[in-house]
Amino acid sequence: MDLRSALGSLPANPRVVVTGNHAVPWHVLGLVDETLDEYRLWALNAPKGIPDRDGVTPESSFVGPGMRRHPRLSYVPSRLSLVPKLFETRLRPDAVVLHTTPPRDGKVSLGAEVNVLPAAIEAVRRNDGVVIAQTNREMPWTYGDAVLDLDWVDVLVEADGPMPHAPVSVVDEHSATIGNLVSQRVPDGATLQAGIGAVPDATLHELTGRRGLRVWTEMFSDSVVALERAGALDREVPITASFLFGSPELLEWADGNHRVEMRRTEITNSPSLIARNPAMTSVNTALQVDLFAQANASRINARIYSGFGGQTDFIVGAMHSLGGQAFIALRSWHPKADTSTIVPMVDEPVTSFQMTTVVTEQGAAEIYGNDEREQARQLIENAAHPRVREELWEEAVELGLLGHP
């Protein structure tokens, strides 16, 4: 079957699931857009540059820059761990467009992006849809659930091209302070989950002196390689992740590396499986945290900015782990909005709650195990910016959380 025939077999206004994040198969996606007058384009964390015209309905459960503020956006709230269930039920895909390695011994590898794709492929097969793969020699070969038998693929399109790389992360003073505060609380033998960005990078780079660390995460970047090279990771335990993004050196290191075990979202983001890891340590961020220890990491002015993602999955899993910790790490003051990130009450839908500790450059507020009054006091005294502490004390009194300080 060729590409045009495959696309011609689809129903009207089909749902097309495409590899998202940092591995979009741009060449084939362009051909899809040229061929289909009308379709629903489903992608996780879609970058800028995806098709944007009448007839295309962008759809996602985690909104990236390419869909943010889009007037036709169909946002379907869901924890990342539950997206595969959506593909089985409410959001059945008609086609999946993958970005893979070239074939090898009757198989291809999904490389840098596994995530929800295996579930989407299985759903398409149940729905008599089509699976299309753009093969690219620059895609690293990874193992685990990344390996896909060619029998599952209907159309292969060769299109080599460079993989996107993460910009060099500059760790500012506040991020370094936050990273140091978090790292001090991570013991030898802990299991790590941390994404990309200045605070996770700062945290992980502070852990190069630890020993016996493990990695069970949604994604990872170059900071994990730094831990590996420093001898901080347990060499007997694979590095488990669902997608990766970083420098060209990271992709080269991951290529053919049996230490890296790429797993589907139902595994990496399962709270019960996360909880089985010893001293599971989850490091996430937020836009706001309020005095009830509720975090908003998804919306700005009621409009969706990102989504639940894996934050809720990992916070729940880490809190159930023996010796586990769930950190929300953020700056106490938002420089662009010129406002405090510690607020009396979040005025947006809540993304997560009941973390272990909230960490800012001001210090660490201990949350779990304290009553609500002590939680509020900890947030005001140890996490909030000094400019707003007096105001927060007054709001806490009005909310019945505190007496007068």
Closest CA to 27 of 148, 146, 161, 141: 161
The Cα–Cα gap between 148 and 156 comes to 13
The Cα–Cα gap between 219 and 23 comes to 13
Reading the block at residue 404, the tokens are 């007068």
Residues 6+ apart with CB under 8 A from 167: none
The secondary structure of 382-400 as a DSSP string is: IIS-GGGHHHHHHHHHHTT
Radius of gyration of the chain (CA): 22
> Is there a contact between 6 and 14 (Cβ–Cβ < 8 Å)?
no
The Cα–Cα gap between 357 and 370 comes to 11
Closest CA to 164 of 1, 49, 286, 11: 49
Residues 6+ apart with CB under 8 A from 184: none
Residues 6+ apart with CB under 8 A from 269: 79, 80, 81, 218, 242, 310, 313, 314
Closest CA to 197 of 18, 348, 97, 330: 330
The Cα–Cα gap between 212 and 179 comes to 20
186 CA to centre of own chain? 21
Q: How many other CB atoms sit within 10 Å of the CB of residue 158?
A: 11
> Is there a contact between 321 and 275 (Cβ–Cβ < 8 Å)?
yes
Tell me, yes or no, if 366 is annotated catalytic: no
Q: How far is CA 268 from CA 41, 115, 239, in A?
A: 24, 9, 11
Reading the block at residue 265, the tokens are 């979202």
Q: Which of 59, 206, 218, 228 is catalytic?
A: 218
Q: Which residues belong to the active site?
A: 218
